[in-house]
Amino acid sequence: MNAEIFKCKIGGFECTIFKDLMFKYQAKDYFINANEKELNTALRNYNVNPDNIPSPYIAMLLQKGTQKILIDSGIGFSEEPIVFKGKTFVLKGKLQQLLAKENISTTDITDVVITHFHPDHIGGVYTPEGELVFKNAKFHLHQEEWDFWNTSKSDSQPALFKFFVENNVTPLKNGNVNFITQDYQEICEGITSINAFGHTAGQIALIIGDTNEKLLYISDAFLHPLHIDRLDWQTNYDLDHKKSKKTRIKLLELANKESMKINAFHFDFPGLGFAERNGEKWKWVYDK
Ligand SMILES: [Zn+2]
């Protein structure tokens, strides 16, 4: 699917998924402990090259009545090059442009949920000039994630990641923020936060919808369908592999128990599908 905007309905919400950017990753970072032969066979089954695993960055808009809730904010957009450690780069996220295409102004957004503080999820909160993009929104984020990135706990994290947090999240300290502290905490009507720690210190997943129909937004608990098929395959991008695996099992069992469709941020756009259970094993099936 090449489109940049995907629409569906989820339990009372009009849902729009935007493709903010396409990126590519490498198998050596995505599957650091996989047996090479097994990995190559598995990747061939998904038709991907180990040096070029395509991966979208997305943002999801949920609308119901006057509520306009944005889940994650994209990588951001910059007209001018940004200078970092003597190097320059330009951010080319399309979220704002795609919102405008849907006649949605950034000032219409009532809530922004930040699932965790990696650049592809927080980059769009402020402009490179330091102006808040979603001026009227309440921001929902987990206290653990905030504490990790805003204290010395994150000192060993990549400098670029810290730069993104300092510019896109830390300035919210004087803003309109709801700090999530509980597992299964309702953020707003129809959206519940689930602790999904491991990828980062305080990542959250979300249950979206009503009693008739629910979707599980897993953010980066799984970066590729092979992380569902092979729960032991670890990624370089996870902070804590043990916690990540616990979270993976927790989310799969939850989706299975409640017959929920899943949305995965980095899977083939728009990242919707199901996890099928076979005993202790799981298999990802795209909803196409
Ligand atoms: Zn991500």
Q: For the segment 41-82, what is each residue's pLDDT rounded down to a tens digit?
A: 999 999 999 999 999 999 999 999 999 999 999 999 998 898
| pLDDT tops 60 at residue 88 | yes
pLDDT recorded at residue 125: 98
List of residues 6+ apart from 99 with CB closer than 8 A: 18, 61, 105, 106
Give distance in angstroms: CA of 167 to centre of ligand 1.
18
Share of the chain above pLDDT 70, in %: 99
CATH class of 5-286: alpha beta
191 forms beta bridges with 188, 208
Cα 195 to ligand 1 centre (Å) = 16
**What is the distance in A from the centroid of ligand 1 to the CA of 55?**
9
Domain limits, the chain: 5-286
Per-residue pLDDT band at 2 (split at 50, 70, 90): low
Ligand 1 center–CA 10 separation, angstroms:
22
* Residues 115-162 pLDDT 10s: 999 999 999 999 999 999 999 999 999 999 999 999 999 999 999 999
Quote the ligand 1 centre to 247 CA distance (angstroms).
Answer: 16
In sequence order, what are the residues at sequence separation of 6 or more whose Cβ sits closer than 8 angstroms to the Cβ of residue 211?
11
Residue 1 has pLDDT above 60, yes or no: no
Residue 42 structure tokens: 């598995």
Report residue 222's pLDDT band, with 50, 70 and 90 as the boundaries.
very high
CA of 219 to the centre of ligand 1 (A): 7
Q: How far is the CA of 236 from the centre of ligand 1 (A)?
A: 12
Three-state SS for 37? helix
Q: Distance between alpha carbon 184 and the CA centroid of its chain, in Å?
A: 18
Q: What number of other Cβ atoms are within 10 A of residue 129's Cβ?
A: 8
- How far is the centre of ligand 1, averaged over its atoms, from the C-alpha of 44 (Å)? 23
